[in-house]
Amino acid sequence: MVLKIKDDIYCMSFIEWEVKEYMSLDINKGTTYNSYLILDKENVLIDPPRIKHLDELKLYLKDIADLKIDYIIPNPSGLDHNECLEKLVEITGAKVVTTKIGKYCLDTQFDTKDWEFIIINNGDEITIGNKTLRFITDDKFRYLLTYCVENKILFSNELFGQHTVYKEKVDLEVGHKIMLEAKEFFANILLPNKDNILKMLKILKDLNLEYICPSHGIIWHKMIDEILLKYRNWSSGVYKNTAVIAYATIYYSTEKIARALGEGLAEGGVNVTYHRLDASTLNIVVRDILDAKYVIIGSPTINTNVHPKVGMLLTYIEGLKPYNKKIGVAFGSYGWEEYATKKINEFFEKLGFKVISGKILTRRFAPGENDLRKIKEFGKKLAKIKLDKFL
């Protein structure tokens, strides 16, 4: 599918329905890879897609540019964004524009000895005729953003992307639900780079932006201020009065504790979301954790460890390095020797969360009515805790 953004700027979208799993991301809605073509005296291709889309891409390039491509600006770090680069360089003879780190990434993935590179730094510009392309990057950062000065268009790589397929291509046509998709993408893909993203947002603040064109999903046009604000919040740890209660259970004791704790929190005014880990996908759990004040994780003790699904969640969250301005609460059930809540609390400490623990949250086998009443009371008190007090 091709969308003409401006007279001489095109978005070519490649839909992938068959992607089901990408890391722990459960991409059950399909995804869209966007490549962009800028026509001027010298033509530029940004973000080429996977090699399986090469034939389709060639058709578009032939149709729109008669295969004349002078520069290619790839996202160098992931094969899903540069797999067809070798073939494209061969077909078009284009120069590859990238950073020093980008070149290193490409050198290790392809035979680049005959490629012509243009190595750029943050703030550098190239003129392609009437248009100027300015580059925004960070030495440690994997992404290279390209700003077309005259058209006020930012080609943003993974930033502001979403793993979705919509027949609509521009933000407001989809509506505000697109924010939830963007949040899921940020939480699962970009969160470990939040410090770099914050730096880049400071640069973007001074740009006049008419379009933001990411390498996945819809293009931002009418909702640019809104998505920039969300990105500032997500990368700086702004949180809401929400609690995510994520847990696994076999015989439902841990689930009973989850419900009682959640009821108490809800009565105390906290917006509670439950995720039973055999029914929720990790990407949705971490999406909800992104701006939650409370991260509450429960597990039965299984073989002197946490339930495997809880183990998976802990490992996943640890790598994503969420902002530490959060309250961590562990709960669970055990039979003879408790282990799970100890491990979950250690995990919270490692992340720098404020740990709130309570003996009542760890029950031997099934919690009784009295236990559940006390757990609910615990939840009500938890709802009153002011987070900033602890930081």
Ligand X SMILES: Cc1cc2nc3c(=O)[nH]c(=O)nc-3n(C[C@H](O)[C@H](O)[C@H](O)COP(=O)(O)O)c2cc1C
Q: What is the binding site for ligand X (CB under 6 A)?
A: 249-254, 300-304, 333-338, 365
User: Sign of torsion, CA 170 172 176 179?
Assistant: positive
Q: What angle do CA 25, 105, 43 make, to 5 degrees?
A: 95
Q: Which residues contact 234 (CB under 8 A, 6 or more apart)?
A: 183, 186, 187, 191, 194, 290, 291
Other residues' Cβ atoms within 10 Å of the Cβ of residue 240? 12
In the bound complex, what is the minimum distance in angstroms from residue 263's beta carbon to ligand X? 17
For the purposes of burial, counting CB atoms within 10 Å of the CB of 150, is it exposed (0-12), middle (13-18) or buried (19 or more)? exposed
What minimum distance in Å lies between the beta carbon of 222 and ligand X? 47
> Which C-beta is closer to ligand X: that of 252 or that of 390?
252
Shorter beta-carbon distance to ligand X: residue 208 or 336:
336
Give CA–CA dist 246/297, Å, rounded.
5
Decide whether 14 or 331 has the Cβ nearer to ligand X: 331
Nearer to ligand X, 17 or 251 (CB): 251
Cα→Cα distances 310→307, 343, 366, Å: 5, 10, 19
Coil vs helix vs strand at 76: coil
Looking at the Cβ atoms of 302 and 329, the one nearer to ligand X is 302
Least CB distance from residue 277 to ligand X, whole Å? 12
Closest distance of CB 209 from ligand X, Å:
50
Residue-wise burial string across 319-338, b where 16 or more C-beta atoms lie within 10 A, e elsewhere: ebebbebbbbbbbbbbeeeb
Q: How far is the CB of 283 from ligand X (least distance, A)?
A: 24
214 vs 367, which CB is nearer to ligand X? 367
Query: Cβ closer to ligand X: 9 or 302?
Result: 302
CB of 84 to ligand X, least distance (A): 48
Identify whether the C-beta of residue 219 lies closer than 8 Å to the C-beta of residue 160.
no
Measure the CA–CA gap between 351 and 293, rounded to whole angstroms.
14
Q: How far apart are CA 62 and CA 54, in angstroms?
A: 12
CB of 344 to ligand X, least distance (A): 14
Whether the CB-CB separation of 260 and 376 falls below 8 Å is answered with yes
DSSP assigned state of 243? E
- The minimum distance between CB 364 and ligand X, in angstroms, equals 7
Q: Residue 367 or 379: which CB sits closer to ligand X? A: 367
